[in-house]
Amino acid sequence: MVTPHAAGQPVLELKGIGKEFGAIRALHGVDLCIFPGEVVGLMGDNGAGKSTLVKIIAGNFPPSHGEIRFDGQAVHFARPIDARAVGIEVVYQDLALADNLTAAANVFLGRELKRKFGPLAFLDHKAMAARALELFGELRSETRPHDLVKQMSGGQRQAVAIARTRLSNAKLVMMDEPTAAISVRQVEQVLGLIHRLKEQGVAVMLISHRMPDVFAVCDRVVVMRRGEKRADKEIGDTSPEEVTSLITGAKEAA
Amino acid sequence: MVLLVRAAGMLPVLLLLCLGFHFLSDGRFFSGQNLGIVLQQAAVNTVLAAGMTFVILTGGIDLSVGSILAASAMAGLAISTIPDLAAFWLLVSVLTGLGFGVINGALIALLRLPPFIVTLGSLTAVRGFARLLGTDTTIFNPSIPYAFIGNGSLTLIPGVVSIPWLSVIALLVILVSWLVLRRTVLGVHIYAVGGNESAARLAGIKVWAVLIFVYGVSGLLAGLGGAMQAARLYAANGLQLGQSYELDAITAVILGGTSFVGGIGSIWGTLVGALIIAVLSNGLILIGVSDIWQYVIKGLVIIGAVALDRYRLQGSART
């Protein structure tokens, strides 16, 4: 396996990130680098600081301390839109899709393609369906652009959500528990989707509780506990047993 | 495609009703004159129901359209009696409606109050304004400008086919609504807000703007409905005009297969729904059913028609 570190500059670099909510310290001194085409698993128990970290990277709120660098530039996100503008996309656990719309409409929601007729702009349904089909093809998903999301399986929904991130050419995709609520066969599909993203040079951060999925797809695993990063290891240098003991605190750090 | 099937869902019911009334009334239903009456009677409700479709597609409700219609008609008629401003009465009517609609929308979108409560409040408050505008009397204007839109017809083939202007307006409203809902970015965003508001927000859609728009459209079309009534009657009374029109509008939308929870439905369904209501009223009078039984039958047909629709679409969509 090619080590992505060789690729040079990290796409995302966190230095000493900390976050306090009043007197509560949610995060402390987190350093983290993610490289293009790298899949990093972010693990930790509930309350370990995973979601706080993800929300800081996604621009939901700013860190109290530390610096975020994206593509080598220091960045400050006031709103999620700012993070999206530089190329950070989050695929949420509940997927944030509109069930009543077609796959294509969901992929393009908020970024619709239009055709001008004088002063009027109408939707270009044909172009959107064609581009969506192309994106599903790249992801090797058999999702059809005109199908309603309501009728889709969990794996297909993930494909739609991921196609959204491809549309914007995101450089970092953070996925929140993408395999939590779907069948075993569909987990395979979703892990396949993560591989496609990796092939296209996208950095992926996989937030998951499912050890087998993390070990199946990630290059590296980062373990959080009590608001601090306790481990950051190549997947080949660790084991599910070690990660479990790091999550629970049986082992303090590695 | 799915929406087309849903819209067509009630079309057979409409056709069956028409055929049934035609035979029961000894062939009086399908006469040019009677069809003209049906179309004219459906016109105002169709316009209100089109606005209501926008609102219900976002998962909301607008109970105030009857009151807004009355207030707009009163405002228009009041202006039409001032010689220098008379020509602007139509515009004033429509803008009055738009104004009340935008206020509804702003309260719902910006203060995050439930649509049912806000529009229930304006149902009462705007009714008060309507009475205030005519100092609680009926305003007459037998020489109101543009009276033709209420009583004239557009002649398509001289002496053979003509359509009441009221129906032409209603059809134009339906066409423009279709264009907005199915062919513009705003339309997709309306469906998205109704389907999954948080997803819409995450996709960067300004949900508040969409909400103000739909309640604004509902108000604007209620204002247009008020103008249509004023032109037809040459008069308006703030207390009586438009009473319980909101219920007919909501009925038309629901009959048309639009889901009460939002996100699913079409404007063509609403047109069919409004026509069903008009055909029922007309047909029951034609076959000489008493006024009292008309109420009972109308109510039962509405429940039956929607039950049929649900049964047919079981599993694919729920309200």
Predicted local distance difference test score (pLDDT) of residue A5: 52
Whether B184 and A98 lie within 8 Å, measured CB to CB? no
Whether A121 and B187 lie within 8 Å, measured CB to CB? no
- Report in angstroms the alpha-carbon separations of B276 from B162, B245, B253: 21, 15, 11
| CB-neighbour burial class of residue A64 (10 A; exposed 0-12, middle 13-18, buried 19+) | middle
Predicted local distance difference test score (pLDDT) of residue A80: 85
**Euclidean distance between CA atoms B207 and B216, whole angstroms:** 14
**Euclidean distance between CA atoms A41 and A222, whole angstroms:** 6
Whether A98 and B187 lie within 8 Å, measured CB to CB? no
Structural domains of chain B in order of their starting residue, each with its CATH number: 2-312 (1.10.3470)
pLDDT, tens digit, for every residue of B55-81?
999 999 999 999 999 999 999 999 999
B118 or A2, which is more confident: B118
Q: Which of A91-100, A196-205, A233-242 has the lowest mean pLDDT?
A: A91-100
Predicted local distance difference test score (pLDDT) of residue B318: 42
CB B251 within 8 A of CB B269: no
Q: What is the mean pLDDT of chain A?
A: 89
**H/E segment holding residue B107:** helix B89-110
DSSP A29-96: EEEEEE-TT-EEEEE--TTSSHHHHHHHHTTSS--SEEEEEETTEEE--SSHHHHHHHTEEEE-TTTT
- Of B61, B234, B49, B60, nearest to B150 by C-alpha is B234
Q: Kindly indicate the confidence band of residue A7, based on its pLDDT and cuts at 50, 70 and 90.
A: low
Whether A109 and B203 lie within 8 Å, measured CB to CB? yes
In the numeric block, the tokens 């438009």 are attached to B242
Mean pLDDT over A19-41 rounds to 93
Nearest residue on chain B to A150, alpha-carbon basis: B316
User: Does residue B187 belong to the interface with chain A, where contact is any CB pair within 8 Å?
Assistant: yes
In the numeric block, the tokens 């370990």 are attached to A48
**Position B3 pLDDT exceeds 90:** no
CB B22 within 8 A of CB B283: no
pLDDT, tens digit, for every residue of A37-76?
999 999 998 888 898 999 999 998 999 999 999 999 999 9
B40 or A94, which is more confident: B40
pLDDT, tens digit, for every residue of A138-172?
888 888 999 999 988 888 888 898 898 888 889 99
Whether B205 and A100 lie within 8 Å, measured CB to CB? no
CB B66 within 8 A of CB B123: yes
What's A144-188 look like in SS3? CCCCEHHHCCHHHHHHHHHHHHHHCCCCEEEEECCCCCCCHHHHH
Q: Kindly indicate the confidence band of residue B307, based on its pLDDT and cuts at 50, 70 and 90.
A: confident
Q: Kindly indicate the confidence band of residue A115, based on its pLDDT and cuts at 50, 70 and 90.
A: very high
Secondary structure letter of residue A102 according to DSSP: B
Predicted local distance difference test score (pLDDT) of residue B301: 81
B50: which 2 tokens?
A: 């089109």
**Euclidean distance between CA atoms B253 and B272, whole angstroms:** 9
- Please enumerate in sequence order all residues whose Cβ is within 8 A of that of A99, keeping only pairs 6 or more positions apart, or say none: A148, A149, A150, B195, B196, B263
What interface predicted TM-score (ipTM) does this complex get?
Answer: 0.83
**Position B302 pLDDT exceeds 90:** no
Predicted local distance difference test score (pLDDT) of residue A27: 92
Q: Which residues from B are below 8 Å from A109, CB to CB?
A: 188, 192, 199-200, 203, 205
Q: Which residues from A are below 8 Å from B195, CB to CB?
A: 98-101
Measured from the Cβ of residue B296, the count of other Cβ atoms closer than 10 Å reads 11
- From first CA to last CA, the distance across chain B in angstroms is 19
pLDDT, tens digit, for every residue of B147-180?
999 989 898 888 778 899 999 999 999 999 999 9
CB burial of A138-154 (b: ≥16 within 10 Å; e: otherwise) equals ebebebebeebbbebeb
Predicted local distance difference test score (pLDDT) of residue A96: 80
Whether B198 and A99 lie within 8 Å, measured CB to CB? no
Whether B1 and A146 lie within 8 Å, measured CB to CB? yes
Nearest to A100 among B194, B198, B203 (CB): B194
**Position B144 pLDDT exceeds 60:** yes
Predicted local distance difference test score (pLDDT) of residue B156: 86
Question: What percentage of chain B exceeds 70 in pLDDT?
Answer: 95
User: Does residue A100 belong to the interface with chain B, where contact is any CB pair within 8 Å?
Assistant: yes
Q: Give domain limits for chain A.
A: 99-167
Predicted local distance difference test score (pLDDT) of residue B2: 52
Q: Which residues from B are below 8 Å from A95, CB to CB?
A: 199
Beta bridge partners of A123: A114
